Amino acid sequence: MKKKKIMIVDDDREFLEELREILDLSGYHPVATTDSITFMEQVRMAGPDLILLDLKMEGKDGFQVAEELASDPETRNLPVIAITGFYSDEAYFRLKKFCRVEKCMQKPLNPLNVISEIEQALRGSVQEGARLCE
């Protein structure tokens, strides 16, 4: 069986490497990038099954990247889980309504929760009406 490809977009290289290792040990094929500017090109080349997206990055922030994904016919149905060290009700509304983000997880991340959320998103079982950031 082919491993599901998970793309991680985060400008924190140390965090990115830790998350890549967690995904690899959990049976996924992680693809990582720190470059939010060329992100869409990388998505098209990698063909991920799901994206883990940091919201606060240099260059384009995660909101801009998520909006690009949602507006592109090739990527609009790709599950996206946002990752952030901050959270507000305004961010929740914007992510859900305009960026089509499945879920948002707050840093620091619990590795078991990350894997659980990925599995739910890949199965398409993210509950509507559930609070987005936890």
Q: Does residue 131 lie in a domain region?
A: no
132 in any annotated domain: no
Omega prior to 30 cis, within 30 of 0: no
Compute the distance between CA of residue 132 and CA of residue 93 in angstroms, rounded to an integer: 9
Candidates 93, 89, 95, 32; CA nearest to 61 is: 95
Q: For residue 41, tell me if it sits in a domain.
A: yes
Domain assignment of residue 35, yes or no:
yes
pTM above 0.85, yes or no: no
CA 124 from centre of chain: 14
- pLDDT > 70? residue 129: no
* pLDDT, greater one: 86 or 31: 31
User: Is residue 131 very low, low, confident or very high in pLDDT (cuts 50, 70, 90)?
Assistant: very low
Number of domains the chain is built from: 1
List the domain range (segments joined by +) for residue 89: 5-123
Q: Is 116 a member of any domain?
A: yes
Whether 82 shows a pLDDT value over 60: the answer reads: yes
Domain contains 133: no
User: What percentage of the chain exceeds 90 in pLDDT?
Assistant: 35
Kindly state the average pLDDT of the residues 2-15.
91
CA gap 13, 20 in Å, rounded: 10
pLDDT the model gives residue 133: 44
- Note whether residue 60 is domain-resident: yes
Summary mean pLDDT of the chain: 82
CATH of the domain at 97: 3.40.50.2300
| Ramachandran quadrant class, 95 (left: phi over 0; alpha: psi -120 to 50; beta: rest) | alpha
pLDDT > 50? residue 109: yes
Confidence at residue 87, expressed as pLDDT on a 0 to 100 scale: 63
- Phi/psi at 99 (5° precision): -105, -5
Q: Per the structure block, which two tokens stand in for 13?
A: 């290289």
